Amino acid sequence: MTTLLRHPARYPSIFAWLVFAAALDVMFTHLVLYHGGIEMNGLAASIMHRWGFHGMTFFKFAMILFTVCLCEITGRRDDLWGRRLGVIGVALTFVPVILASLMLLGRTHHYF
């Protein structure tokens, strides 16, 4: 693990998108909860129940750190797969953001 810290990040733009998507996820989760919604990720919901919103936020960013490490380790063996894992991670992190956006939009405009 210490060798990961000795080299620059392999996919800095992908990692920036991961952090951006995770921050949006936390913000939209807060908005959904504020408007009476629930956390749909069962693991995140149980963590939030036990450790509160800050614990859930920590969990979500820990998952991003895990994804970054996985991409870096995989990228050392196969650059294409390391990059693909990063892109998949970004896409998956944006899914709850899009769903929360649709739920909030529906609540505001009574579409759903």
The string of pLDDT tens digits covering residues 53-90 is 999 999 999 999 999 999 999 999 999 999 999 999 99
Per-residue pLDDT at 25: 95
Report the mean per-residue pLDDT for the chain: 90
Which pLDDT belongs to residue 88? 97
Checking if the pLDDT of 3 tops 90, the result is no
Query: What does pTM read for this prediction?
Result: 0.83
97 vs 74: CA distance, rounded Å:
26
Lookup result for tokens 């963590």: 47
Distance, CA of 65 to CA of 71 (rounded, Å): 10
What separation, in Å, do the N-terminal and C-terminal C-alpha atoms of the chain show?
47
Q: Is the pLDDT of residue 4 over 90?
A: no
- DSSP 8-class letter at 67: H
